[in-house]
Structure 1
Amino acid sequence: MGSLRGHFPFFFVVVLVLSSNHILVDAHNDSTTRVELEADFKVIAELAGNTAIPNTDFKSLAKLSLTNAIASCNAIHSHINSLLKISNSYTGRCLTGCSTNYEDAVGLITKSLAALEARDYVEAKALISDALANATKCEDRFQELLQLNSPFILMKAKFGRLCLIGIKHINRLVRKERLITEGCSHTLDKELCKSSVEFFLENKGLSLQGLAKLAVEKTLQDCTKIHNHISVLLKTSSDECLLKKLRSCSGHYQTAIAKIRDSLPALECKRYGDARAWVGAAIDWAETCEGVIAGKSNTKSPLTPLKTDFNRQAALALSVIYKLAGN
């Protein structure tokens, strides 16, 4: 898609920000707010077009490296257990300790993947380092007791490289996220700014039509996720009042899902007015559910966190559709 700098009209950012932030809707026509929104737009466009911020998916690369590190570690552990069957007492003593070391290392790398998914990057790197330390303990044991390298030192080197590559990608991910976070720090909707920039960076190779389709498909996924969560709550909740409201919401989200699905062929046929109307209708149905749950007692909705993600994704989808329509 190339640089996004200077390619988006002001109305694009108004939709991008206001679609998911109802607090700002009343201020839409206020001149001061319009200036602030235009500034937000410039931030998003400049960040997305900033060559200093790579569009590489470092998280996926880190996960791939760590997954391969687990496979490598398991291979070493299996090899150690095979050697234990034919070893003498001294070698067996080393191998027994190494078996424990590599078993622990597998557990640590597995935990690091969970930490990475939770965006706890400090913990992820610490766990990887601990796994590497376990592998080093094994080698140290061979040197101390036998003054020899272990018979799997080359396998250990491969495991170490994979771990270090994982750490390298995590560090790059941290730098990328910091640049985006700092860039979005003065915008009105910081989370929407960050998700928008990340979306554009990750999909620079797509045409605007492709971006719109992907954004709508992700909106559909988020909407379906909420509906599935409602289904779980209907089976697990014992609050009859909440259950009644959730049954209504289940129907509302079924309608929302249908509307988003309808928008995809409309988008394909370049009926952009219909596409954005149906995505907008899905947002309205989600809002209706929130109102149903809140009721007169202003009950806190268990769906709000998921709905916030849905709103942001829907806002992004609408913004790209508006751009496609030439607005």
Structure 2
Amino acid sequence: METLKALFFLLPLALSLILLNFNTPCEATEAVTKSPISTPTRAPTRVPTRAPTRVPTRTPTGAATRAPTGAATTAPHVDLITTACKRSVFKALCLNTLRSDTKSSKADLKGLAAIAIQNTVAVATNTSNHITVLLNATPTKNNLLNATSTRKNLGHPNAKATTTPGAADPFTHRCLSGCSKDYANVINQLNGSLAALGAGKYNDANLALSAAMATVELCEEGFSSQPGHFSVLKDINSKFNQLCSNALAITTHLAGSSV
């Protein structure tokens, strides 16, 4: 009897131990099945997305955008003078006139046109003064020597004395009187051209320069109206017309580019 009681007491304990052994492998297998699922899902998603996005974007753009602009700004100003004289008939004189003026180094195309006109005004003023000297000279053969000396001072080193009558000749005197008035008009016309240029009225500047050239041509034609006489202002008038022509070429360029 005692033995049966002991068996009835131990039987539930044995059953509970058997049930406990069956439950633990399931929990272990659940632990094993969960660990491989959670670990591989994160690592591959972030690594390739960052490193390539920033490194290539800065260095090429900064280097590429600045180098060409610096190279463009270093173009020599002499190129603008060449452009200004490109349409001139007397290119060598145009280049020499602009390059010899210190203001040309900082001038734009409009400024170069003003410099060309100002040089023409200076020649016109010197010529007007030269005519006054000839008109006021004593009517003797010394007039020719005085005329030759003055022409050398105006930039004509090859000027030579001649036996052709100078201001002492009444006809030549009349021609010089007419030229004196002509050059007074020329100076006014050139100043009008400068004013029109400053106001941006390039066509008006062209008209004034053309009128100045026509006026000097009238002065020159006066000497040839009587056979046997020559113009004592021929070289000076020719130099003036060349300078005026160069200035007109630049203002014409400006007029064309402003259309």
TM normalised by structure 1 equals 0.42
| 8 Å Cα contact 1:260-1:279 kept in structure 2 | yes
Aligned to 1:299: 229
User: Highest CA radius of gyration, 1 or 2?
Assistant: 2
| 8 Å Cα contact 2:80-2:109 kept in structure 1 | no
Deviations 1:66-99 (A, max 9, x none): xxxxxxxxxxxxxxxxxxxxxxxxxxxxxxxxxx
| 8 Å Cα contact 1:222-1:310 kept in structure 2 | yes
Residue 326 of structure 1, CA deviation: 2.5
Query: Do structure 1's residue 193 and structure 2's residue 91 form an aligned pair?
Result: yes
SS of structure 1 residue aligned to 2:120? helix
Give structure 2 stretches of 5+ with no counterpart. 1-75, 138-166
Query: Do structure 1's residue 249 and structure 2's residue 147 form an aligned pair?
Result: no
Residue 298 of structure 1, CA deviation: 5.4
Aligned to 1:30: none
Aligned to 2:201: 271
| 8 Å Cα contact 1:8-1:323 kept in structure 2 | no
Residue 311 of structure 1, CA deviation: 1.5
Aligned to 2:216: 286
Q: Quick one: which amino acid aligns to residue 4 of structure 1? A: D
Aligned to 1:4: 79
CA gap 1:249/1:201 in 2 versus in 1, 3 angstroms: closer
Aligned to 2:38: none
SS of structure 2 residue aligned to 1:326? helix
Query: Do structure 1's residue 232 and structure 2's residue 133 form an aligned pair?
Result: yes
In the TM superposition, 1:105-184 aligns within 5 A as none
Query: Do structure 1's residue 308 and structure 2's residue 238 form an aligned pair?
Result: yes
Pick the aligned partner of 2:116 from 191, 215, 226.
215
Deviations 1:262-283 (A, max 9, x none): 1111110010011111111011
* Structure 1 residue ranges (4+ consecutive) displaced by more than 4 angstroms after TM superposition: 5-10
SS of structure 2 residue aligned to 1:292? helix
* Counterpart Cα distance in 2 of 1:6 and 1:225: 26
CA gap 1:247/1:284 in 2 versus in 1, 3 angstroms: same
Which gives a bigger RCO, structure 1 or 2 (Cα 8 Å, sep 6+)?
A: 1
Q: Quick one: which amino acid aligns to residue 316 of structure 1? A: N
* Counterpart Cα distance in 2 of 1:283 and 1:5: 25
* Counterpart Cα distance in 1 of 2:82 and 2:132: 42
Q: Quick one: which amino acid aligns to residue 243 of structure 1? A: H
Aligned to 1:206: 107
Residue 312 of structure 1, CA deviation: 1.8
CA gap 1:200/1:227 in 2 versus in 1, 3 angstroms: closer
Deviations 1:3-60 (A, max 9, x none): 53898599x62xx21xxxxxxxxxxxxxxxxxxxxxxxxxxxxxxxxxxxxxxxxxxx
* Counterpart Cα distance in 2 of 1:6 and 1:282: 24
RMSD between aligned alpha carbons?
2.4
* Counterpart Cα distance in 1 of 2:252 and 2:181: 28
| 8 Å Cα contact 2:193-2:205 kept in structure 1 | yes
CA gap 1:308/1:198 in 2 versus in 1, 3 angstroms: same
Residue 217 of structure 1, CA deviation: 0.9
| 8 Å Cα contact 2:113-2:247 kept in structure 1 | yes
SS of structure 2 residue aligned to 1:4? helix
* Counterpart Cα distance in 1 of 2:206 and 2:200: 11
Residue 204 of structure 1, CA deviation: 3.5
* Counterpart Cα distance in 2 of 1:252 and 1:241: 17
SS of structure 2 residue aligned to 1:325? helix
TM normalised by structure 2 equals 0.53
Q: Quick one: which amino acid aligns to residue 183 of structure 2? A: Y
